[in-house]
Amino acid sequence: MPRGIAIPQLRQHLFSAAETVVLREGPAKLSGRAVTVEAGVATGIIYTHFADFDGFLAAYAVDRSFTIAAAPAFAERLGTGKVAANLADGLAAVPGPALTALARLLATRPELTARVEEVLGAGGSGIDALERAAAEYLAAEQVAGRLGAAAEPGALALAAVSVLHRLVLAGATDLDRLRSAVAALIAGAAGRTAPR
Protein backbone atom coordinates (compact mmCIF):
# COMPACT_ATOMS: atom_id res chain seq x y z
CA MET A 1 0.00 0.00 0.00
CA PRO A 2 1.40 3.42 -0.89
CA ARG A 3 2.52 5.64 1.98
CA GLY A 4 0.29 8.42 3.17
CA ILE A 5 -3.04 6.86 2.21
CA ALA A 6 -5.48 6.78 5.11
CA ILE A 7 -7.02 3.41 5.89
CA PRO A 8 -10.50 3.70 7.35
CA GLN A 9 -10.81 1.77 10.62
CA LEU A 10 -7.13 0.83 10.67
CA ARG A 11 -7.43 -1.07 13.95
CA GLN A 12 -10.14 -3.35 12.53
CA HIS A 13 -8.11 -3.78 9.34
CA LEU A 14 -5.12 -4.93 11.40
CA PHE A 15 -7.30 -7.16 13.59
CA SER A 16 -8.77 -8.83 10.49
CA ALA A 17 -5.27 -9.39 9.13
CA ALA A 18 -4.18 -10.99 12.42
CA GLU A 19 -7.23 -13.23 12.31
CA THR A 20 -6.42 -14.29 8.75
CA VAL A 21 -2.84 -15.19 9.73
CA VAL A 22 -4.03 -17.26 12.73
CA LEU A 23 -6.65 -19.10 10.67
CA ARG A 24 -4.36 -19.78 7.73
CA GLU A 25 -1.01 -20.42 9.42
CA GLY A 26 -1.74 -20.86 13.11
CA PRO A 27 -0.92 -18.64 16.08
CA ALA A 28 2.75 -19.68 16.08
CA LYS A 29 3.24 -17.74 12.83
CA LEU A 30 1.60 -14.59 14.18
CA SER A 31 4.01 -11.66 14.31
CA GLY A 32 3.90 -7.94 13.72
CA ARG A 33 5.45 -8.44 10.31
CA ALA A 34 2.99 -11.20 9.35
CA VAL A 35 0.08 -8.95 10.31
CA THR A 36 1.34 -5.91 8.42
CA VAL A 37 2.19 -7.95 5.33
CA GLU A 38 -1.29 -9.48 5.37
CA ALA A 39 -2.84 -6.04 5.90
CA GLY A 40 -0.72 -4.50 3.15
CA VAL A 41 0.54 -1.68 5.38
CA ALA A 42 3.92 -0.36 6.51
CA THR A 43 5.78 -2.71 8.84
CA GLY A 44 5.94 -0.29 11.78
CA ILE A 45 2.31 0.79 11.73
CA ILE A 46 1.39 -1.49 14.64
CA TYR A 47 3.92 0.31 16.83
CA THR A 48 2.46 3.68 15.87
CA HIS A 49 -0.90 2.68 17.35
CA PHE A 50 0.07 0.16 20.06
CA ALA A 51 2.86 0.19 22.66
CA ASP A 52 4.12 -3.20 21.49
CA PHE A 53 2.95 -6.39 19.77
CA ASP A 54 1.58 -7.80 23.03
CA GLY A 55 -0.50 -4.62 23.38
CA PHE A 56 -1.81 -5.18 19.85
CA LEU A 57 -2.72 -8.80 20.66
CA ALA A 58 -4.44 -7.75 23.89
CA ALA A 59 -6.47 -5.11 22.01
CA TYR A 60 -7.39 -7.72 19.38
CA ALA A 61 -8.45 -10.21 22.08
CA VAL A 62 -10.56 -7.58 23.86
CA ASP A 63 -12.23 -6.52 20.62
CA ARG A 64 -13.05 -10.07 19.52
CA SER A 65 -14.16 -11.14 23.02
CA PHE A 66 -16.58 -8.23 23.11
CA THR A 67 -17.84 -9.06 19.59
CA ILE A 68 -18.31 -12.74 20.45
CA ALA A 69 -20.20 -12.01 23.69
CA ALA A 70 -22.46 -9.43 22.02
CA ALA A 71 -23.27 -11.46 18.88
CA PRO A 72 -26.01 -13.71 20.31
CA ALA A 73 -28.24 -10.75 21.33
CA PHE A 74 -29.85 -12.97 23.94
CA ALA A 75 -31.63 -10.06 25.64
CA GLU A 76 -33.69 -9.52 22.47
CA ARG A 77 -34.73 -13.18 22.48
CA LEU A 78 -35.83 -13.33 26.11
CA GLY A 79 -39.44 -14.46 26.52
CA THR A 80 -40.04 -15.07 22.82
CA GLY A 81 -39.97 -18.21 20.68
CA LYS A 82 -38.58 -21.46 22.05
CA VAL A 83 -35.69 -21.43 24.50
CA ALA A 84 -33.69 -24.10 22.64
CA ALA A 85 -34.12 -22.34 19.29
CA ASN A 86 -33.18 -18.99 20.83
CA LEU A 87 -30.05 -20.44 22.39
CA ALA A 88 -29.00 -22.23 19.21
CA ASP A 89 -29.75 -19.25 16.96
CA GLY A 90 -27.90 -16.93 19.33
CA LEU A 91 -24.84 -19.16 19.33
CA ALA A 92 -25.05 -19.55 15.55
CA ALA A 93 -24.84 -15.74 15.25
CA VAL A 94 -21.31 -15.77 16.68
CA PRO A 95 -18.78 -15.10 13.92
CA GLY A 96 -17.02 -18.45 13.46
CA PRO A 97 -13.68 -17.08 12.21
CA ALA A 98 -13.40 -14.69 15.16
CA LEU A 99 -14.23 -17.46 17.63
CA THR A 100 -11.79 -19.90 16.04
CA ALA A 101 -8.91 -17.44 15.78
CA LEU A 102 -9.40 -16.12 19.31
CA ALA A 103 -9.66 -19.61 20.81
CA ARG A 104 -6.43 -20.64 19.09
CA LEU A 105 -4.66 -17.45 20.15
CA LEU A 106 -5.74 -17.70 23.81
CA ALA A 107 -4.73 -21.37 23.91
CA THR A 108 -1.18 -20.48 22.85
CA ARG A 109 -0.97 -17.19 24.75
CA PRO A 110 -2.93 -17.73 27.97
CA GLU A 111 -1.51 -14.53 29.49
CA LEU A 112 -3.82 -12.61 27.15
CA THR A 113 -6.84 -13.84 29.10
CA ALA A 114 -5.80 -11.79 32.14
CA ARG A 115 -5.32 -8.71 29.96
CA VAL A 116 -8.78 -9.14 28.44
CA GLU A 117 -10.31 -9.59 31.89
CA GLU A 118 -8.66 -6.36 33.06
CA VAL A 119 -10.87 -4.60 30.52
CA LEU A 120 -14.00 -6.77 30.31
CA GLY A 121 -14.06 -8.26 33.81
CA ALA A 122 -13.67 -11.80 35.08
CA GLY A 123 -14.94 -14.38 32.60
CA GLY A 124 -14.98 -11.75 29.84
CA SER A 125 -12.51 -13.37 27.47
CA GLY A 126 -13.48 -15.30 24.36
CA ILE A 127 -15.45 -18.46 24.95
CA ASP A 128 -15.88 -17.61 28.66
CA ALA A 129 -17.79 -14.46 27.70
CA LEU A 130 -20.04 -16.43 25.38
CA GLU A 131 -20.68 -19.06 28.02
CA ARG A 132 -21.53 -16.38 30.58
CA ALA A 133 -23.95 -14.66 28.16
CA ALA A 134 -25.67 -17.99 27.42
CA ALA A 135 -25.91 -18.84 31.14
CA GLU A 136 -27.40 -15.42 31.91
CA TYR A 137 -29.95 -15.88 29.13
CA LEU A 138 -30.94 -19.35 30.38
CA ALA A 139 -31.17 -18.14 33.99
CA ALA A 140 -33.47 -15.29 32.88
CA GLU A 141 -35.67 -17.76 30.98
CA GLN A 142 -35.74 -19.94 34.09
CA VAL A 143 -36.92 -17.00 36.22
CA ALA A 144 -39.60 -16.33 33.58
CA GLY A 145 -40.76 -19.94 33.95
CA ARG A 146 -39.75 -20.94 30.41
CA LEU A 147 -36.94 -23.27 31.59
CA GLY A 148 -37.55 -25.86 34.28
CA ALA A 149 -36.58 -25.10 37.86
CA ALA A 150 -34.37 -28.22 37.99
CA ALA A 151 -32.31 -27.09 34.97
CA GLU A 152 -28.81 -25.79 35.61
CA PRO A 153 -28.29 -22.75 33.35
CA GLY A 154 -24.52 -22.71 33.86
CA ALA A 155 -24.11 -26.38 32.96
CA LEU A 156 -26.41 -26.07 29.95
CA ALA A 157 -24.52 -23.01 28.73
CA LEU A 158 -21.18 -24.79 29.13
CA ALA A 159 -22.44 -27.79 27.15
CA ALA A 160 -24.04 -25.71 24.38
CA VAL A 161 -21.01 -23.45 23.97
CA SER A 162 -18.72 -26.50 23.98
CA VAL A 163 -20.70 -27.95 21.08
CA LEU A 164 -20.35 -24.68 19.17
CA HIS A 165 -16.64 -24.50 19.96
CA ARG A 166 -16.10 -28.07 18.77
CA LEU A 167 -17.99 -27.47 15.51
CA VAL A 168 -16.24 -24.18 14.78
CA LEU A 169 -12.77 -25.57 15.47
CA ALA A 170 -13.55 -28.53 13.21
CA GLY A 171 -14.52 -26.11 10.44
CA ALA A 172 -18.14 -27.25 10.40
CA THR A 173 -20.46 -24.77 8.73
CA ASP A 174 -23.63 -26.88 9.02
CA LEU A 175 -25.38 -25.47 12.06
CA ASP A 176 -28.09 -28.14 12.07
CA ARG A 177 -25.83 -30.19 14.34
CA LEU A 178 -25.64 -27.28 16.77
CA ARG A 179 -29.40 -26.83 16.76
CA SER A 180 -29.97 -30.56 17.26
CA ALA A 181 -27.50 -30.76 20.15
CA VAL A 182 -28.92 -27.68 21.88
CA ALA A 183 -32.49 -28.99 21.47
CA ALA A 184 -31.41 -32.28 23.07
CA LEU A 185 -29.71 -30.46 25.96
CA ILE A 186 -32.73 -28.29 26.71
CA ALA A 187 -35.15 -31.20 26.31
CA GLY A 188 -32.98 -33.31 28.61
CA ALA A 189 -33.00 -30.56 31.21
CA ALA A 190 -36.81 -30.56 31.04
CA GLY A 191 -36.94 -34.38 31.23
CA ARG A 192 -38.34 -34.85 27.72
CA THR A 193 -37.16 -36.27 24.44
CA ALA A 194 -35.82 -33.76 21.91
CA PRO A 195 -38.02 -33.25 18.83
CA ARG A 196 -36.66 -34.75 15.63
> 112 lies in which domain range?
71-190
Domain assignment of residue 26, yes or no? no
Domain assignment of residue 55, yes or no? no
pLDDT band at 2 (very low <50, low <70, confident <90, very high): very low
pLDDT tens, 5-59? 555 689 999 999 999 999 999 999 999 999 999 999 998 899 988 999 999 999 9
The pLDDT > 90 percentage for the chain reads 59
Domain assignment of residue 10, yes or no? no
Domain assignment of residue 113, yes or no? yes
Give me the amino acid identity at 164. L
Domain assignment of residue 142, yes or no? yes
> Which pTM value belongs to this model?
0.81
Q: What is the mean pLDDT of residues 108-121?
A: 91
Q: What is the mean pLDDT of residues 151-155?
A: 94
Give me the amino acid identity at 104. R
Domain assignment of residue 17, yes or no? no
Residue 1 has pLDDT above 50, yes or no: no
**Residue environment code for 39-66, b if the CB has 16+ CB neighbours within 10 A, otherwise e:** bebeeebbeeebeeeeebbbbbbbbbbb
pLDDT tens, 159-193? 999 999 888 877 766 788 999 999 999 998 877 65
Q: Quote the Cα angle for 182-92-27, to 5°.
A: 110
Domain assignment of residue 182, yes or no? yes
Domain assignment of residue 114, yes or no? yes
Closest CA to 183 of 82, 105, 106: 82
R_g (Cα) of the chain, nearest Å: 19
**How many domains does one find in the chain?**
1
> What pLDDT, on the 0 to 100 scale, is given for residue 8?
60
